[in-house]
Amino acid sequence: MRSCQFSLVFQQTKRANFSLKPRLSKLHPLLPGSTVPRFAYLVSGSKGDLEKLWRTLQTLYHPLNQYVVHLDLEAPAEERLELASRVEKDPTFSKVGNVHMITKANMVTYRGPTMVANTLHACAILLKRSKDWDWFINLSASDYPLVTQDDLLYTFSDLNRNLNFIEHTSQLGWKEGQRAMPLIIDPGLYQSTKSDIFWVTPQRTLPTAFKLFTGSAWMILSRSFVEYCIWGWDNLPRILLMYYTNFVSTPEGYFQTVMCNAPEFVHTAVNHDMHYIAWDIPPKQHPHILSLNDTRKMIASGAAFARKFNQDGPVLDKIDKELLGRKNGSFTPGGWCSGNPPCSKIGDPTLLRPWSRSS
């Protein structure tokens, strides 16, 4: 079995809404019986990511959604305080009250379980803060949207709210020997300063109580699945969390393995992470840094998000202008925007103005 049993040809159906049709200027009514969904975002960063995170947050903002932002413990206190100040003083954020910062920062180690712990922390906060959101989306400060929130909300409006968009496979390949069998320790679990994971011996065998799955660390998860991971009413999420504590690259396997071993959710997995990610040849530890040369492929991918970007690269300005309609560092325009300058006041957030990219 390469993937969970459920499959959906999303690219040929709903993802068509991300295709570049003639630019739309009128407010779009939803299909009969459809309701506007709501997303809950985690946008996380580390040392030096303040400006990237802030820009990404502004492009993602919509009054219907919920947002948690986090700069990890490696980021200087000055950066975290500045982010908290910006969130508090932004008039739109203050009025709507849908942007929350994790002020007690977590230590997050790349490839370690602390990254999953941070994601679960954000999920718990989002569940506590709002009963209305439908999907959870985790992003980093190096991510950037390729579609507006009105596009995304409109596209997801008539989808089954239980669907999960998560890249996954049970074909571990080289990961079996290099990630599943080695045992690692994440110092971020017990130290206040950041350091990389380290390996311990002996190795372990593959599990027989459950089947391992792997995939992308970036995903769109249904509220029902997030609740299952937090509450764990049949204990599987907790058991797997303890197992993955000593697993290399925990974020690329924990949620996949939970979902594909849970009968309640195995049929809800759509095998796509909604991201455009490019890798160098041969592949390196981190993805290829996207530039203007990658624009055509990004657009052709039909993805909702892309990564990895450098801070304030010209490709981001191109995305703002040609894909998002964003100007002068403001929010991405949508049907909710009112006032002068645009988006300085909040209109009706349930009115959607889907963009389309010019051909």
Instruction: Look at residues 245, 274, 239, 276 and name the one whose alpha carbon lies nearest to residue 258.
Output: 239
Residue 283: predicted pLDDT: 63
How many angstroms separate the most distant Cα atoms in the chain? 64
Residue 11: predicted pLDDT: 37
> Which tokens is 196 given?
């990389």
Residue 117: predicted pLDDT: 98
Residue 256: predicted pLDDT: 98
Instruction: Look at residues 175, 181, 172 and name the one whose alpha carbon lies nearest to residue 203.
Output: 181
Rounded-to-integer distance, Cα 98 and Cα 111, Å: 30
Boundaries of every domain in the chain: 38-346
Please state which CATH number belongs to domain 38-346. Answer: 3.90.550
- Please identify every stretch of the chain with a pLDDT value under 70, giving residue numbers as ranges: 1-2, 5-34, 282-285, 355-359
What are phi and psi for residue 46, nearest 5 degrees?
-135, -160
Residue 30: predicted pLDDT: 60
